[in-house]
Protein backbone atom coordinates (compact mmCIF):
# COMPACT_ATOMS: atom_id res chain seq x y z
CA UNK A 1 0.00 0.00 0.00
CA UNK A 2 2.92 2.36 0.53
CA UNK A 3 4.41 3.55 -2.74
CA UNK A 4 7.66 4.71 -1.15
CA UNK A 5 8.51 1.07 -0.39
CA UNK A 6 8.89 0.22 -4.08
CA UNK A 7 12.66 -0.19 -3.84
CA UNK A 8 12.73 -1.56 -0.32
CA UNK A 9 13.03 -4.95 1.28
CA UNK A 10 10.48 -5.47 4.05
CA UNK A 11 11.34 -7.99 6.75
CA UNK A 12 8.71 -9.34 9.11
CA UNK A 13 10.07 -11.07 12.21
CA UNK A 14 7.66 -13.19 14.24
CA UNK A 15 7.00 -16.64 15.63
CA UNK A 16 6.73 -19.35 12.94
CA UNK A 17 3.12 -20.16 13.82
CA UNK A 18 2.10 -16.48 13.59
CA UNK A 19 3.73 -16.05 10.18
CA UNK A 20 2.10 -19.27 8.92
CA UNK A 21 -1.32 -18.25 10.22
CA UNK A 22 -1.01 -14.80 8.67
CA UNK A 23 0.03 -16.23 5.30
CA UNK A 24 -2.89 -18.67 5.38
CA UNK A 25 -5.42 -15.97 6.30
CA UNK A 26 -4.13 -13.63 3.60
CA UNK A 27 -4.22 -16.39 1.01
CA UNK A 28 -7.84 -17.20 1.90
CA UNK A 29 -8.81 -13.52 1.82
CA UNK A 30 -7.21 -13.08 -1.61
CA UNK A 31 -9.29 -15.96 -3.01
CA UNK A 32 -12.49 -14.11 -2.18
CA UNK A 33 -11.43 -10.86 -3.87
CA UNK A 34 -11.68 -9.92 -7.50
CA UNK A 35 -8.65 -8.46 -9.30
CA UNK A 36 -9.68 -4.86 -8.64
CA UNK A 37 -9.90 -5.46 -4.90
CA UNK A 38 -6.56 -7.22 -4.58
CA UNK A 39 -3.74 -5.12 -3.26
CA UNK A 40 -0.30 -5.72 -4.66
CA UNK A 41 2.74 -5.72 -2.43
CA UNK A 42 4.58 -2.51 -3.31
CA UNK A 43 7.88 -3.45 -1.69
CA UNK A 44 10.70 -4.91 -3.76
CA UNK A 45 10.61 -7.94 -1.47
CA UNK A 46 8.60 -9.14 1.53
CA UNK A 47 10.63 -11.54 3.64
CA UNK A 48 9.28 -13.46 6.62
CA UNK A 49 11.81 -14.34 9.31
CA UNK A 50 10.86 -16.97 11.87
CA UNK A 51 12.36 -15.83 15.16
CA UNK A 52 11.61 -14.76 18.71
CA UNK A 53 12.96 -11.25 19.34
CA UNK A 54 13.37 -12.15 23.01
CA UNK A 55 16.06 -14.65 22.05
CA UNK A 56 19.68 -14.10 21.13
CA UNK A 57 19.57 -15.39 17.55
CA UNK A 58 16.86 -13.23 15.93
CA UNK A 59 19.32 -10.70 14.51
CA UNK A 60 21.46 -13.44 12.98
CA UNK A 61 18.35 -15.00 11.43
CA UNK A 62 17.39 -11.58 10.08
CA UNK A 63 20.85 -11.12 8.55
CA UNK A 64 20.77 -14.64 7.13
CA UNK A 65 17.55 -13.61 5.37
CA UNK A 66 19.25 -10.68 3.64
CA UNK A 67 19.03 -7.84 6.16
CA UNK A 68 22.06 -5.54 5.90
CA UNK A 69 22.63 -3.53 9.11
CA UNK A 70 24.63 -0.86 7.26
CA UNK A 71 21.63 0.12 5.12
CA UNK A 72 19.17 2.74 6.33
CA UNK A 73 16.37 0.99 8.17
CA UNK A 74 12.94 1.86 9.50
CA UNK A 75 11.87 -0.32 12.41
CA UNK A 76 8.16 -0.64 13.16
CA UNK A 77 7.60 -2.13 16.58
CA UNK A 78 4.02 -1.06 17.21
CA UNK A 79 2.00 -3.88 18.65
CA UNK A 80 5.16 -5.67 19.74
CA UNK A 81 6.75 -3.79 22.62
CA UNK A 82 3.49 -3.95 24.56
CA UNK A 83 3.83 -7.74 24.79
CA UNK A 84 7.45 -7.73 25.95
CA UNK A 85 8.69 -7.39 29.50
CA UNK A 86 10.46 -4.12 30.23
CA UNK A 87 13.84 -5.86 30.21
CA UNK A 88 13.13 -7.66 26.91
CA UNK A 89 11.91 -4.42 25.29
CA UNK A 90 15.01 -2.54 26.45
CA UNK A 91 17.29 -5.33 25.21
CA UNK A 92 15.54 -5.36 21.83
CA UNK A 93 15.95 -1.61 21.45
CA UNK A 94 19.62 -1.79 22.47
CA UNK A 95 20.25 -4.55 19.92
CA UNK A 96 18.56 -2.54 17.18
CA UNK A 97 20.51 0.61 18.11
CA UNK A 98 23.81 -1.28 18.09
CA UNK A 99 23.23 -3.00 14.75
CA UNK A 100 21.68 -0.52 12.37
CA UNK A 101 22.74 2.46 10.35
CA UNK A 102 21.94 5.86 11.79
CA UNK A 103 22.03 7.63 8.40
pLDDT > 90? residue 58:
yes
Domain extent at residue 37: 3-98
Say if 57 falls within a structural domain.
Answer: yes
Q: What is the mean pLDDT of residues 55-61?
A: 96
pLDDT by residue (tens digit) across 62-71?
A: 999 999 999 9
Taking phi over 0 as left and psi of -120 to 50 as alpha, with beta for the rest, 66 belongs to: left
Q: Over the stretch 67-93, which tens digit does the pLDDT of each residue have?
A: 999 998 889 998 899 999 999 999 999
Would residue 103 count as lying in a domain?
no
Residue 89 and residue 33 in contact, taking contact as beta carbons nearer than 8 Å: no
Question: pLDDT class for 2, splitting at 50, 70, 90?
Answer: low
Cα–Cα dist 88/56, whole Å: 11
Specify if 52 maps to a domain: yes
As for how many domains the chain has, the answer is 1
The pLDDT value recorded for residue 38 is: 58
Amino acid sequence: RLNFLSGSHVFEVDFPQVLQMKASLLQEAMKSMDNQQKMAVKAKALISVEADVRGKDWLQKLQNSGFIPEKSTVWILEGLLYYLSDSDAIQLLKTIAAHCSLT
